[in-house]
Amino acid sequence: MTWREVSVADQRREFVMLASLEGANVSALCARFGISRQTGHLWLRRFAAGESNFADRSRRPLQSPRRLAGELEARILAVRDAHPAWGARKIAAVLQRNGIVPPSASTVHAVLSRHGRIAVDSPGRAYGGFERTAPNALWQMDFKGRVRLGSGAWLHPLTIIDDHSRFAVGLAACADQQTQTVQAHLERVLRRHGLPHAIYVDNGSPWGGGKPGQWTPLRLWLLKLGIAIIHSTPYHPQGRGKNERFHRSLAAEVLALVQLQGFDDAQAAFDHWRHVYNRQRPHQSLGFTTPAEHYRPSRRSFPETLPVPRYDQGEIVRRVGKTKAYVSFHNRLWKVPDAFCGEYLAIRPRLPDGCFAICFGAHEIASFDLNCPRSSQMA
C-alpha cells in the first residue's frame, strides 16, 4: 500500500482544529506544523471569518425556537438522516446547540419511529471504568478488528482516543497491525497533539507479547519518549470500555453505512467522521457536549532527537548484541528481552550478595543471581 498524501487543506484544517481548542499553545502548534506564527494566526483569522472551506458547519442557529412543529420534525429528521446512528438524546442536544428549543428525548424518539428511522437493533451498553482527570494523562489505543474493503484487501482501523475527553486524536486506515505501521501513524499523532503521560493497550501485538509487562520494540520506543505503557488485565474488558464504545460508534456511523473501496477511500471517510465525532457529535458521558470542548493539546512536544538513558560514571554498562539479546558479565551470558538488541544497559548490584539487576535507565528489565549454577541462568 502507498501512504496517503496529506494535502495542505488537511493540514490547515487539523491545525485550526487544534489551535482553536481551549488552552491550546498556538506557538507550539505552529512549530509542530512547520509554519510561522504569522501564518498560523492568518489561518485562524480566516477560519474565524468563515473563509475556510474545512469548517463543516456554521455556528449560526438553523431556525428560530418559535417555528412550526412540522419544521421542527423536519429538523429532527435532517439530523437523523445526516447521522443515522445517532439516538434521540444526541439529536435533541444538537438542536439545542443550534439555538432550537428541542422537545423531550421521548418525543424525538416518537418522531423517528413514526417516520421509520428507528432500527430494530441498537448498540449494547459499553463497559464502564476509570477516567483520568485531565487531557493527555492517558490515551487508549487499539485496533478495531479487521474489515474487508471493496478491493478485497483487509482494513485494520487503528484508534487512539484521549481517556479524559474522549477526543479521537488518531484514526488510521492501516493495511496491517505491524510495529512499523503503528509507530509511523502514532508518531504523526504525537507530533500533532504532543505526548501523553501513558497509553492504555491490551496485551496483543504489537504493544504486547501476550502477557502484561512484556517488552516490545514499540513499548521501548515509547519509553524513550517518556510515555508509559499500561496493559489491560487479560479477560477483563471493563477497563477498555471507552475503546469498545468508540469502536461501536465507528462501526455504526461509518463501516455499516458505506462500502469502503480502498485505503485512501477509508482514510478519507475516517478523517471526515473523526471531525464530526470530535466537534459535532454530542456525547452522553460528557453531558451532551463534544470532546473538543474538553480536550487541549499536550504541553510536551515530540523531541527532535530520541532521548537515550545516561548512566553515571563508574556504573557497569554493557551493550546488547544487535542480533542476540544477551549481555556478558563474569564470563557468562545473561538473557534480556529481544526489544533491547543494540541498546546500552546498566548492571547494578542488589541484595543479597551476588544478585544483580539489568536496567535500561531507571527501569529494571531483567535480573540474575551469580550464585545460581550455569544450568539455571536465564535462557
Q: How confident is the model at residue 82 (pLDDT cuts 50, 70, 90)?
A: confident
Output the nine-digit C-alpha cell for 168: 479521537
Q: Are 120 and 130 in contact (CB under 8 A)?
A: no
CA distances, 237 to each of 122, 232, 346 (Å): 20, 8, 37
pLDDT at 57: 41
Weakest-pLDDT range from 38-52, 165-179, 265-279: 38-52
The yes/no answer on whether domain 127-293 falls in CATH 3.30.420.10 is yes
Taking the CB of residue 338, how many other CB atoms lie within 10 A of it? 14
Cell numbers at 308, concatenated = 537515550
CA angle, residues 3, 1, 176, in degrees to nearest 5 = 100
Residues of the chain within CATH 3.30.420.10 domain(s) are 127-293
Q: What is the mean pLDDT of residues 97-123?
A: 73
Span 36-56, average pLDDT: 75
Sheet holding 363-369, edge to edge: 316-319, 344-350, 355-360, 363-369
pLDDT at residue 21 in the model: 85
DSSP bridge pairs for 200: 140, 230
**Whole-number percent of the chain with pLDDT over 70:** 85
- Indicate whether 375 pLDDT > 70: no
24: pLDDT strictly greater than 70: yes
pLDDT tens by residue, 155-182 = 999 999 999 999 999 999 999 999 999 9
The cell 496491517 sits on which residue?
Answer: 176
Cell of 102: 428541542
What's the CA gap between 4 and 112, in Å, rounded? 38
**Pick the residue with more confidence: 73 or 317?**
317
Rounded distance between C-alpha atoms, residue 177 and residue 250, angstroms: 18
**pLDDT band at residue 225 under the 50/70/90 scheme:** very high
